[in-house]
Chain A
Amino acid sequence: MPLVENGQIVQDRYHYLSDEEPIPERVRVIVPAQRFLANADELIRRDGSLGVLWPNDRRIAELAPWLGHLALVALQFPKFRDGRAYSQARLLRETYGFRGTLRATGDVLRDQFHFLIRAGFDSFEVKKPADAHAFVEAANRYSVVYQPSADGRTPALRRRVQDRTELDGQNN
């Protein structure tokens, strides 16, 4: 499953930790939510970047107290059609101000890239290699957005008021 960051296919520097495995030092790990919550105090004192795999049916508010210690949060798309993690991502970015890496895992396909990026994701475990190669094209598909979101793009409603004259001039 190729990993895309900054528009490129990259090597995953993180190791997904199972529930039983001993916790290694100086290795970037992604810990399952349950295990993280049970051992949070210990985990955050450990040497090495820390990530958490957070399920899409658990409130983000539960994770909020620890966000300052996390380098990465991985959110799950068990199915393409299950869009709960989009809300979680925006909450993380916009309500809780999380600045670390936000990773999308699971059933992640080309046609979600636009939505994922806008919701604040910047790391993508893509299901199909062909989709990973099409990332840049798919990510740049829309030059107009209609709503403010975690990516900070200016929505049409505001752009109209800002630069209507200029834009109409170009298109007439």
Chain B
Amino acid sequence: MYVYDAFDRRLLAERVVEFRDQVSRRLSGELTEEEFKPLRLMNGVYLQLHAYMLRIAIPYGTLSTLQLRKLAEIARKYDRGYGHFTTRQNIQFHWIKLAELPDAMAELAKVGMHGMQTSGNNVRNITTDQWAGAAPDEIEDPRIWAELIRQHVTLHPEFSFMPRKFKIAVGASDRDRAALRIHDMALRLHRNAAGETGFEVMVGGGLGRTPYLAQTIKAFLPKRDVLSYVEAVLRTYNQFGRRDNIWKARIKILVHDLGAEAFAKEVDAEWQSIKDGALALEPDMVADIAGRFRYPDYEKLDDSPRELVTARRSVRGFDVWLSNCVTSHKVPGYAIVTLSLKPEGGTPGDCTAAQMNKLADLADRYSFGEVRVGHEQNLTLPHVAQRDLPALWRELGANGLAQTNVNLISDIISCPGLDYCSLANARSIPIAQEISRRFHDLDRQRNLGRLHINISGCINACGHHHVGHIGILGVEKNGEEFYQITLGGKADENATLGTLIGPAVPYAQVADVVEDIAAAYLDLRDRPEELFIDTVKRLGIAPFRERVYAAR
């Protein structure tokens, strides 16, 4: 956990005062909606189809139980008893009243939370691996760097009115669990040949109407230079990014139009003039931030304790849950537990106030008071002693939180779609719900193996459909909802954009098409261990297209 100090707390309190003033000027009519819009957006407040929506940042996906309980309280007091976790380590409340927003924000500020820069044309919430600090394969904790960048870009005087939003992700292992290449800018900690750690810098990724994967513009950036380099990239983008057309305003277009090399040159020229100035990080500054991350006081334990071995042998459901939802921890005797927020027929990413409170209790008892949020819209208990896993599993089950579908076909990433969003062309949630019902049988899902479905209700691609193994994109044709299907996308260290398999299909046929694709995969895979994504890679989309359109 990062612990806020007096500086952080004071800034948040001052922000709430400012927002209260802005809301009162809006309510009195002193501000027009047009003038109010960029101000509310800078605080995470959107106007949706039915109401205002508040998006709250969960920086680098880390939540304390104090914060989680506060979110439950906000859900109960100001919303309809639930919240929605997004693909960018945020939580959204969809039914909040404008007049009550300042009070909700003041409540959040008490636990160091806010909606600052969760929307608007500024640097958004800095995201990272939800297993940060716990994953065995990371070089070091990426959250320290995410926090340094978070502070640097918060209320940044130069970059609060950029051409468009700007999303930064930080990773620190060879396995990419933060979808780095689909970000406007990504920083990956790695070791160079000399054994020093520094960042690979990637820019220009993004989905939406024109999807691009980020390109590497610097192979190795020393850690001391990370803030100055971020500054140089943002300054280049702020000045030269397009502002004449909202669809061409993201940095990916600038990088693509200039070419990554020319863009890198422009950045480098700017960077050379500032790198040895006030932004050069001194070791004591980094140490100060690192020192305010609190780590669990782990016990000295061994892997595979007796309690675990016994439970694996005696309870079948437990063993399946263990293999699908639990992964190894960097500290012996501990494990990382993923909690699926994708129940059969449910809304991906939704969590009720009661579940939040229960989870907070369980995290206090079993995970050193810490919960994580991942871009897959699931939650994680990052530090569970292996001997406690059977007891935790039973309690999760009793509260509807022991879904075993993590990484399986019903573990669907979905945007809110036309049920909530004013930008959407089509519904997303009911599609996810129908697919999860069709594939409710766990043995069938396990036979299909790892398979990611991503659904977006419009071309803005909040459900990241381009990087789903199966991507589903809602479009509107003559007033009706149709869906384009792509195959072969992925957002990991070998990120790839999916390929469209053919004409869009109507709403009522989407789940059938997914069943056809799943059936085709079972016929086509060369052995049960070949994952869906690998079969698509080996054979291309042609055999799947044939199967899907033969009967249509």
* B residues less than 8 Å from A14 (CB atoms): none
| Interface window among A44-52, A65-73, A76-84 | A76-84
Q: Please tell me if the beta carbons of B279 and A160 are within 8 angstroms of each other in the complex.
A: no
12 A-B contacts (beta carbon < 8 Å): A59-B239, A81-B38, A82-B161, A111-B18, A114-B155, A116-B157, A141-B14, A144-B7, A144-B14, A146-B155, A156-B151, A161-B285
Question: Within the assembled complex, what's the spacing in Å between the Cα atoms of A109 and B161?
Answer: 13
Q: Is residue A24 contacting chain B, with contact meaning CB distance below 8 A?
A: no
For A137-152 the 0/1 string (1 means CB < 8 A from B) is 0000111111111110
* A residues less than 8 Å from B7 (CB atoms): 144, 156, 159-160, 167
Q: How far in angstroms is the closest Cβ of chain B from A76?
A: 13
Interface residues of B in 237-291 (CB under 8 A from A): 238-239, 243, 273-274, 277-279, 282, 284-285, 288-289
Q: Is residue A170 contacting chain B, with contact meaning CB distance below 8 A?
A: yes
Q: Is residue A103 contacting chain B, with contact meaning CB distance below 8 A?
A: no
Question: Within the assembled complex, what's the spacing in Å between the Cα atoms of A96 and B414?
Answer: 48
Q: Please tell me if the beta carbons of A160 and B5 are within 8 angstroms of each other in the complex.
A: yes
9 cross-chain pairs, A with B, having the tightest CB-CB distances, nearest first: A83-B161, A118-B157, A148-B278, A156-B7, A144-B11, A171-B6, A115-B157, A86-B158, A146-B151
Q: What total count of A-B pairs have CB within 8 Å? A: 118
Q: Identify 6 new A-B residue pairs, CB closer than 8 A, beyond the known A80-B161, A143-B10, A144-B7.
A: A82-B161, A114-B157, A146-B11, A150-B157, A160-B7, A167-B7
* A residues less than 8 Å from B243 (CB atoms): 82, 84
Interface residues of B in 284-341 (CB under 8 A from A): 284-285, 288-289
Q: Is residue B121 contacting chain A, with contact meaning CB distance below 8 A?
A: yes
Q: How far in angstroms is the closest Cβ of chain B from A157?
A: 5
Q: Which of A119, A156, A171 has the most CB of B within 10 A?
A: A156
Q: Please tell me if the beta carbons of A111 and B154 are within 8 angstroms of each other in the complex.
A: no
Question: Within the assembled complex, what's the spacing in Å between the Cα atoms of A118 and B156?
Answer: 9
Question: Within the assembled complex, what's the spacing in Å between the Cα atoms of A87 and B235?
Answer: 6
Q: Please tell me if the beta carbons of A144 and B38 are within 8 angstroms of each other in the complex.
A: no
Q: Is residue B39 contacting chain A, with contact meaning CB distance below 8 A?
A: yes
Q: If the complex has contacts A160-B7, A161-B284, A167-B7, are A147 and B152 also in contact, measured as CB distance less than 8 A? A: yes
Q: Is residue A15 contacting chain B, with contact meaning CB distance below 8 A?
A: no
Q: How far in angstroms is the closest Cβ of chain A from B258?
A: 15
Question: Within the assembled complex, what's the spacing in Å between the Cα atoms of A84 and B17?
Answer: 27
Q: Please tell me if the beta carbons of B6 and A170 are within 8 angstroms of each other in the complex.
A: yes
Q: How far in angstroms is the closest Cβ of chain B from A164?
A: 7
Q: Is residue B186 contacting chain A, with contact meaning CB distance below 8 A?
A: no
**Residue of B153, B155, B162, B285 touching A83 (CB-CB under 8 A):** B162
Interface residues of A in 122-172 (CB under 8 A from B): 130, 141-151, 155-161, 164, 167-168, 170-171
Residue of B nearest to A107 (CB): B35
Q: If the complex has contacts A90-B158, A141-B17, are A164 and B288 also in contact, measured as CB distance less than 8 A? A: yes
Q: If the complex has contacts A119-B158, A148-B279, A161-B285, are A143 and B238 also in contact, measured as CB distance less than 8 A? A: no
Q: If the complex has contacts A83-B238, A109-B35, A146-B11, are A119 and B157 also in contact, measured as CB distance less than 8 A? A: yes
Q: Is residue A95 contacting chain B, with contact meaning CB distance below 8 A?
A: yes
Q: Is residue B30 contacting chain A, with contact meaning CB distance below 8 A?
A: yes
Q: Is residue B160 contacting chain A, with contact meaning CB distance below 8 A?
A: yes
Interface size classification for chain B: 35 or more
Q: Is residue B22 contacting chain A, with contact meaning CB distance below 8 A?
A: yes
Question: Within the assembled complex, what's the spacing in Å between the Cα atoms of A82 and B244?
Answer: 10
Q: Is residue B159 contacting chain A, with contact meaning CB distance below 8 A?
A: yes
Q: Please tell me if the beta carbons of A81 and B6 are within 8 angstroms of each other in the complex.
A: no
Q: How far in angstroms is the closest Cβ of chain A from B14?
A: 5
Question: Within the assembled complex, what's the spacing in Å between the Cα atoms of A170 and B5?
Answer: 12
Residue of B nearest to A127 (CB): B35
Q: How far in angstroms is the closest Cβ of chain B from A99?
A: 18
Question: Within the assembled complex, what's the spacing in Å between the Cα atoms of A83 and B155?
Answer: 13
* B residues less than 8 Å from A168 (CB atoms): 5-6
Q: How far in angstroms is the closest Cβ of chain A from B214?
A: 22
* B residues less than 8 Å from A159 (CB atoms): 7
Q: Which of B7, B8, B156 has the most CB of A within 10 A?
A: B7
Q: Please tell me if the beta carbons of B10 and A86 are within 8 angstroms of each other in the complex.
A: no
Residue of B nearest to A154 (CB): B278
Q: How far in angstroms is the closest Cβ of chain A from B271?
A: 12
Q: Please tell me if the beta carbons of B154 and A83 are within 8 angstroms of each other in the complex.
A: no
* A residues less than 8 Å from B278 (CB atoms): 148, 155
**Residue of A84, A86, A142, A171 touching B11 (CB-CB under 8 A):** A142
* B residues less than 8 Å from A167 (CB atoms): 5-7
Q: How far in angstroms is the closest Cβ of chain A from B93?
A: 24
Q: If the complex has contacts A80-B38, A90-B158, are A141 and B151 also in contact, measured as CB distance less than 8 A? A: no
Q: Please tell me if the beta carbons of A83 and B160 are within 8 angstroms of each other in the complex.
A: yes
Q: How far in angstroms is the closest Cβ of chain B from A145?
A: 7
**Residue of A90, A119, A143 touching B14 (CB-CB under 8 A):** A143
Question: Within the assembled complex, what's the spacing in Å between the Cα atoms of A59 and B284?
Answer: 37
Q: Which of B8, B154, B239, B288 has the most CB of A within 10 A?
A: B239
Interface residues of A in 2-61 (CB under 8 A from B): 59
Question: Within the assembled complex, what's the spacing in Å between the Cα atoms of A144 and B243?
Answer: 31
Question: Within the assembled complex, what's the spacing in Å between the Cα atoms of A171 and B10?
Answer: 10
Q: Please tell me if the beta carbons of A80 and B35 are within 8 angstroms of each other in the complex.
A: yes
* B residues less than 8 Å from A109 (CB atoms): 35
**Residue of B39, B152, B154, B158 touching A87 (CB-CB under 8 A):** B158
For B143-171 the 0/1 string (1 means CB < 8 A from A) is 00000100111111111111000000000
Interface residues of A in 98-115 (CB under 8 A from B): 109, 111, 114-115
Q: How far in angstroms is the closest Cβ of chain A from B129?
A: 24
Q: How far in angstroms is the closest Cβ of chain B from A124?
A: 14
* B residues less than 8 Å from A83 (CB atoms): 121, 158-162, 238
* A residues less than 8 Å from B9 (CB atoms): 171
Q: Please tell me if the beta carbons of A130 and B30 are within 8 angstroms of each other in the complex.
A: yes
* A residues less than 8 Å from B282 (CB atoms): 161
Q: Please tell me if the beta carbons of B288 and A161 are within 8 angstroms of each other in the complex.
A: yes
Q: Please tell me if the beta carbons of A86 and B238 are within 8 angstroms of each other in the complex.
A: yes
* B residues less than 8 Å from A144 (CB atoms): 7-8, 10-11, 14
* B residues less than 8 Å from A150 (CB atoms): 157
Question: Within the assembled complex, what's the spacing in Å between the Cα atoms of A162 and B507?
Answer: 61
* B residues less than 8 Å from A146 (CB atoms): 11, 151-156
Q: Which of A86, A115, A116, A161 has the most CB of B within 10 A?
A: A86
Question: Within the assembled complex, what's the spacing in Å between the Cα atoms of A9 and B159?
Answer: 27
* A residues less than 8 Å from B277 (CB atoms): 94, 148
Question: Within the assembled complex, what's the spacing in Å between the Cα atoms of A155 and B231?
Answer: 15
* A residues less than 8 Å from B17 (CB atoms): 141
* A residues less than 8 Å from B38 (CB atoms): 80-81
Question: Within the assembled complex, what's the spacing in Å between the Cα atoms of A48 and B370?
Answer: 65
Q: Please tell me if the beta carbons of B238 and A84 are within 8 angstroms of each other in the complex.
A: yes
